[in-house]
Structure 1
Amino acid sequence: MRCHISLIFLSTLILTGASLPKTGPLPSDKPPTETQAEAPIPAPEKKPETPAKTDEEKKREPSADGGQGNEAPTPDPKPADGKDTGKPDDKASDGKKSDAAGDEKDKPADEKAEEPPITYPPVENENPVEYAKCVSDLKALGAVFTEAKRIDDGKGCGIDKPLDVTSVLPDVKLAPKGLIRCEAALALARWTKEAVQPAADVAFAKGTTVKTLNQASTYICRLRNNATTGKISEHAHGNAVDIASFTLSDGKTIEIQPRDEDGTMTGAFQRAITASACLYFKTVLDPGSDAAHETHLHLDVIERRNEYRYCR
């Protein structure tokens, strides 16, 4: 009987459109007990409520941007005058600069910029016509010399057609003998004949002549004033000679030294031959020019525009 009633009940539910629950046990064919019928349907489980946060806790709670909740962000440091320059921290910037400099310094040698090699001009060739005329004029003055082999010492040093000069005039020696270009040897011979000998005859006893030009330097491969940097010396081209003293026919030696205030005839002789040298040489440096020339006269025939002379 009970089974029949249950079937009728299910048929009624189906006809009226009722649906079975999606989950849960199927209806039992046994009637519920009194305890099950009276038991209340359990309420859905509730999570314990979180107690409300105090204002202090809200302030300490981290915000989405990583700062502190409602706390004002820490202001950027400002300079002493209170103005915000908006510039990055100097120390941090200096650190980056120093790091960059350190990186450049620590680069291997092969990665550093290489300095371009120094180029030197080749030894200048003599003009054949001018050279032949110079040699002819030098011989006519009675100079004693031999033609030497071409000199090329590299670094721009050398003489195309050097002369090994023993005497600039028949009775005036060059001691010691020296290698020099013909142009410089000819200027030295003419100066000695036309200026030095007449000055000696006037300054000293009548008939006194210069017998020897004592030279301190002719050809030598070096820079000016023996410096480690700078321009190459005219001595390295065979264009220059340094005269340290003169030996007179009476055996007396006149040394080159500072004589601007020397009121003797020796002082007058040195000043006279120094001034006259500017008529024969393009450069004349005496003890008054600088400390490097206090003991000699520097004479050279460097090429300059319009026959310009530098004498001091």
Structure 2
Amino acid sequence: MRAPLLALLLWPGLALAQDPPAPRPVAPAEERPAPRPAAEPATKPEPQDEKPRPEEPKPQLDQPEPKKPEPEEPAGPPVHTRLRESDFDHSACLLELTLLGADYAPQAPLTDPDQPDCGIDRPILLHAPLPGIEIPGGAPMRCDMARQLAHWLRDFVRPASARLPGQPRLVALEPSSTYQCRATVGNDSANLSEHAFGNAFDIAAFRFEDGSRIAIEPREDQGDLAEAFQRAVRGAACLYFTTVLGPGANAAHDNHLHLDIKARRGGWRLCQ
């Protein structure tokens, strides 16, 4: 009996072959759980009485932003105040006039209530630019204008008069226009004239001791000494004044010689 028992211990498969396992019981069909129903696809409920949303405006990238109004620049000081001389320059100019022998008198400032740019801050009333050469009635102007006038008369006009017949002595300048608040004439300009700042003086005629006079007028190819005198003093004037206008420049200057000291860029001068 030991041999068969030993064989059973060593070969368990033999025992299983002899005794097959019992079949697995199957649950009855009615006891099986029912299969899970397939999930239906979720559907979004349709909106009821929902109004369409208005479209938002798209930003306009190609249009520039409106410019903000620029602040108005404050108006500058009146022209006559910008031309005001310093204390030193004014004193030096008056001293030079005195040394030249000019007859003048300081005046109160000149202004115009209707045009704030017009005026002379430190005017003088010039009676005689040089001894013996008077301006009848006097002429208000800035000191620098009077100084240039005196040098021109001393260096060129008085010597030129000595070349006239009989060498008459120059005794007077007949003024055409002195200080006057007005626009320039002859070129339809709205700009103020240099007369409005005391920078200009117009000569209508030169008077001599013998009673003769040379009036400023168109003198073309007359070939006399009066024409030579007018041409000579007019040409020399451009060495002292920045603007010299006379007959031929325009119709407005056919009867006088306009002299002024208008400041221009680069020292440019207008001589016509």
TM-score (norm 1): 0.60
**Number of residues paired by the alignment?**
196
Question: Per the alignment, in what secondary structure is the counterpart of residue 223 of structure 2?
Answer: coil
Q: CA deviation at 1:262?
A: 2.1
2:223 to 245, 257, 263: 263
Aligned-residue offset at 1:218: 0.9
1:145 maps to a residue whose letter is Y
Give the corresponding residue for 1:140: 99
- The alpha carbon displacement at 1:303 in A equals 0.8
1:181 to 142, 147, 158: 142
Aligned-pair identity in percent equals 39
How far is the alpha carbon of 1:203 from its aligned partner? 2.5
Deviation digits for residues 243-263 of structure 1, max 9, x if unmatched?
Answer: 000101111011000113221
* CA contact 1:120–1:156 (8 Å) conserved in 2: no
State whether residues 186 and 250 of structure 2, in contact with CA within 8 Å, keep that contact through their aligned partners in structure 1.
Answer: no
In 1: Cα distance, 2:219 partner to 2:247 partner: 8
State yes or no: 1:237 paired with 2:197.
yes
**Deviation of 1:225 (Å):** 1.2
Is 1:164 matched up with 2:128? Answer: no
Deviating 4+ runs (over 2 angstroms): 226-229
Q: Which residue of 2 aligns with 1:34?
A: none
- The 1-side partners of 2:241 and 2:166 are apart by 28
Distance change in 2, residues 1:287/1:245 (3 Å): same
In structure 1, how many angstroms separate the alpha carbons of the residues matched to 2:132 and 2:164? 19
1:53 equivalent in structure 2 = none
| 2:236 counterpart SS class | helix
Q: CA RMSD in A?
A: 2.1
Contact 1:203 1:268 in 2 (8 A): no
Work out the CA distance in 2 between the residues paired with 1:259 and 1:228. 25
Tell me the secondary structure at the aligned position of residue 140 of structure 1: helix
SS of structure 2 residue aligned to 1:299: strand
Query: Which ranges of structure 2 fall in alignment gaps of 5 or more residues?
Result: 1-71
How big is each residue's C-alpha offset from its partner over 1:72-113, in whole Å with a ceiling of 9 and x where there is no partner? xxxxxxxxxxxxxxxxxxxxxxxxxxxxxxxxxxxxxxxxxx
Q: Work out the CA distance in 2 between the residues paired with 1:234 and 1:262.
A: 32
Which residue does 2:159 correspond to in 1?
Answer: 198
Tell me whether 1:288 sits opposite 2:248 in the alignment: yes
Alpha-carbon separation, structure 2, partners of 1:282 and 1:306 = 11
Report the CA distance shift for 1:261/1:226 in structure 2 as closer, same or farther (over 3 A): closer
**AA of the residue aligned to 2:231:** R
Contact 2:102–2:129 (8 Å) recurs in 1: yes
Aligned mates of 2:267, 2:158 — CA distance in 1:
25
- Report the 3-state secondary structure (helix = DSSP H, G, I; strand = E; otherwise coil) of the residue aligned with 2:125: strand
- The answer for the alignment partner of 2:261 in structure 1 is 301
Partner-residue secondary structure (3-state), 1:243: strand
Secondary structure at the counterpart of residue 174 of structure 1: coil
